[in-house]
Structure 1
């Protein structure tokens, strides 16, 4: 069956494989405020959300007080965990010994947390997990293997693993648009727009001996392409703090850049004993908190 998220309104990698070897990582939170073209980090407010010598990664805010992430147990099984900031408590959204769930995100309707699920036969497809802990639903049965994705208009723009990796968007079952090929793992909707952004590995330049890839965008409504300058050297994880401000990291240092500017500006470092190398990030403008993933040394 081929489902669309219209049902929401009726219910009031480098092969980027989800199963690739993983480094022990934790989630670190810091108070932060993004305003216009600035990001202010509140030094001294850094705090570990997780503290395990395992994989806790891929954070995503699902509402004003909760964060979803993928976590491995000591047997190597991955589930989606929900962390609530107000209570400092964790709860399993999934607990599936025969499946592995990655890359959680809230759907546009807010009734599901989606996840890339590695099924028993190895297929990587997009599943929907109800926030009321009901039965999960397979979204696209014939689009796989999915690595990463983001949402627009109750449909998912998806990074599909292959030779080459492609970025696709299903306007309908018989109308699946290939947006680009040779894309990186960061697939992010630009806030308050219909633009899906991504790293374009077809477009690169060399800075101080390091390859730098372009950040591109595609307007899903107007069907127009956009260019948002270049990423940081040797980095490809980015997020939007607001409609105009991009955030990336290198090592333990964070950088911002306005979408229409060229220069990345350092806004500070995340100092946590025993940790290095920021990768994925998530920001809540309501909570004024930035969550980063860092590797254990």
Structure 2
């Protein structure tokens, strides 16, 4: 019964998101005193329907879940060539949260939701119809790699999500806690990872996780209603709210500070974001403003 509820939960989640008309925008990013400067904003998905969940393979390539003739597939955008292509040949299911595998050459991992409700994390190769499960039977919802042998993931655990640490070499899975959130990251320039927990007030608390020791450390609470964040570097965190971006500095501040107002950029409701390894580009997801 729990499995059936979990499948229904994730089907409803992805269907609701798929109805959103979101786009992926790529911007230049510069750190300035006390904040950031965002400019040269480009719509790189440019397609009606659900386009979301960006990540950088490298400083020149953005992956995201993109609307492809009504199905969600892995899109790949080349910054130097200014072109969007589809990473893999179509499958029966929809692919979400595409992420480059560390030390995996051009291979990508993504969550696939099949028409029958089966949900798993798969490996994909460029221009190939073939895929293989990362860990057989594990119902992954969200994930991030620590290295090519270790990943942190939120998995279906009944009506809520459980946070698990996966050893890909031994194929073992350790459950760390319950009621985890959807935003999991490897901290840029660090050996730590981060995750969120839904607290008693239904807001999300952000924690650092030391993979070597297995210890977690509270960082801050995300603003009310915010589920997504990204790391600008090893100490500064960015979130979107409306058409604005806020920063939390783990060394200098205990409050979220407004660092960019993109009200004139033609979009609203910023959600997911990703920063390039060299910290010179930012990809963000938002809803275009109808003119």
Regarding TM over 0.5, the answer is: yes
User: Which category describes the TM-score, using the shorter chain as reference length?
Assistant: 0.7 to 0.9
Normalising by structure 2, what TM-score?
Answer: 0.85
1:97 CA displacement: 4.5
Residues 225-274 of structure 1, C-alpha deviations (whole Å, 9 max, x = no match): 11111112210100111111111011010011112432111111224565
**Aligned partners of 1:143, 1:219: CA distance in 2, in Å?**
23
Residues 201-230 of structure 1, C-alpha deviations (whole Å, 9 max, x = no match): 1355xxxxxx64211122111111111111
- Choose between structure 1 and 2: higher strand proportion: 1
Contact 2:87 2:127 in 1 (8 A): no
Distance 1:99 1:48, change over 3 A: same
**Does the residue aligned with 1:19 lie in a helix, a strand or coil?**
helix
Contact 2:75 2:87 in 1 (8 A): yes
Does residue 223 of the first structure (1) align with residue 214 of the second (2)?
yes
**Aligned partners of 2:10, 2:269: CA distance in 1, in Å?**
18
**Aligned partners of 2:164, 2:89: CA distance in 1, in Å?**
29
CA RMSD of aligned residues (A): 2.5
**Aligned partners of 2:86, 2:240: CA distance in 1, in Å?**
29
Match of 1:235 in 2: 226
**Does the residue aligned with 1:21 lie in a helix, a strand or coil?**
helix
| Residue of 72, 76, 90 corresponding to 2:84 | 90
Question: What are the within-5 Å matches in structure 2 for residues 184-199 of structure 1?
Answer: 184-199=181-196
**Aligned partners of 2:208, 2:9: CA distance in 1, in Å?**
22
Contact 1:71 1:81 in 2 (8 A): yes
**Does the residue aligned with 1:248 lie in a helix, a strand or coil?**
strand
Match of 1:33 in 2: 30
How many aligned positions are there?
A: 275
Match of 1:49 in 2: 44
Contact 1:33 1:285 in 2 (8 A): no
1:72 CA displacement: 1.7
Contact 1:203 1:214 in 2 (8 A): no
**Aligned partners of 1:272, 1:79: CA distance in 2, in Å?**
30
- Choose between structure 1 and 2: higher helix proportion: 2
Residues 137-190 of structure 1, C-alpha deviations (whole Å, 9 max, x = no match): 22111211x111000132221111232210101236574211221111101122
Which consecutive residues of structure 1, in runs of 5 or more, have no partner in the other structure? 1-12, 205-210
Normalising by structure 1, what TM-score?
Answer: 0.84
Contact 2:98 2:109 in 1 (8 A): yes
Does residue 113 of the first structure (1) align with residue 105 of the second (2)?
no
Question: What are the within-5 Å matches in structure 2 for residues 127-138 of structure 1?
Answer: 127-131=122-126, 133=128, 135-138=130-133
